[in-house]
Structure 1
Amino acid sequence: MTIDHDRYDDDYLRDILATTQTIAMVGASPKPDRPSNGVLAYLNRAGYATYPVHPGLAGGTIHGRTVVARLADVPVPIDMVDVFRNSDAIPALVDEVLALDPLPKVVWLQLAIRNDSAAARLEAAGVRVVMDRCPAIERPRLLSR
């Protein structure tokens, strides 16, 4: 299945959001004014098991969830990796994702984050990809009916 990363089918996004249970958020921030902070709070309220990932904050908490340093430190299999990092940081993150066993089902790059070559690597390994979208925007639009 070829995915058009310029325009996602609602069913593709809906399926991801409806079947995801665990989310590792790379670039999570404890600062209330940061988008990652608000999205993490929303995902928690929506019932997802979230795991904030931030090397400089490991061992602390954000919204009651313990922060881990890297994806490999998440103690359960990850369904979705939600990414708040610059597009140029994505290739190194893909290396980290592809080293996981089992692989996550989805890597979701937040608004304004896109890296087509990284997406191709992930998809070749069987990982679904969403770029330049926010689950806190898409979930209410697609699942709140």
Structure 2
Amino acid sequence: MSYGDDATVRKILTTSGDTWAVVGLSTNTARAAYGVARVLQRAGKRIVPVHPKAESVLGEQGYASLAEIPFPVDVVDVFVNSELAGEVADQAVAKGAKAVWFQLGVVDEAAFDRTRAAGLDMVMDRCPAIELPRL
């Protein structure tokens, strides 16, 4: 099943804004979040690491939660497991984000419905690093 049509993918990647909070991003270079964050940076996005350790990653200050980020966030890119992802989507709505992106393998249909009902664009079970070259 597809959770986010191509038009929504294109909108998030091109017009939703350039500040992307990457939830689950740490200094572990072997993790997918690190590689995707680097791709997003190369595409001109500002990445904001969100991880309990609040580590700085790829030259950007990290924060322990979305709520601690002291500036607006356009897109919340979620690398946590599906059981935790819905709570992150709810936090993205509370933060005032324009869009939420659940990475490959991250699926929560109820969170998808809630997030869209709140007026945010959402893509689920896809990867922006794969989608960017397709634009």
What TM-score does the superposition give when structure 1 sets the normalisation length? 0.86
Matched, 1:40 2:37: yes
What's the offset of the Cα at 1:10? Answer: 2.3
Kindly report which structure 2 residues correspond to 1:132-143, keeping only aligned pairs within 5 A, or say none. 132-142=125-135
- Please, what is the CA RMSD of the aligned residues? 1.4
Q: Which residue of 2 aligns with 1:22?
A: 19
The percent identity for this pair of structures is: 45
CA–CA distance in structure 2, aligned partners of residues 27 and 64 of structure 1: 16
CA–CA distance in structure 2, aligned partners of residues 107 and 87 of structure 1: 14
Indicate how the Cα distance of structure 1 residues 7 and 97 shifts in structure 2: closer, same or farther if over 3 A, else same.
closer
Question: Where do 5+ consecutive residues of structure 1 fail to align?
Answer: none
Q: Structure 1, residues 10-39: CA drift from partner, whole Å, max 9, x if none?
A: 222112100121100000021111100111
CA–CA distance in structure 2, aligned partners of residues 13 and 98 of structure 1: 18
What's the offset of the Cα at 1:7? Answer: 5.9
Q: Structure 1, residues 55-104: CA drift from partner, whole Å, max 9, x if none?
A: 12x1x31111111111012222111000001001022223322322xx11
| Larger RCO of the pair (alpha carbons < 8 Å, separation 6+) | 2
Say if 2:102 and 2:123, in contact at 8 Å, map to a contact too: yes
Q: Which residue of 2 aligns with 1:77?
A: 72
Q: Which 4+ stretches in 1 moved above 4 angstroms? A: none
Matched, 1:6 2:6: no
Count of residue correspondences? 134
CA–CA distance in structure 2, aligned partners of residues 128 and 12 of structure 1: 7
Q: Which residue of 2 aligns with 1:65?
A: 60
What TM-score does the superposition give when structure 2 sets the normalisation length? 0.92
Letter in 2 for 1:129: M
Question: Where do 5+ consecutive residues of structure 2 fail to align?
Answer: none
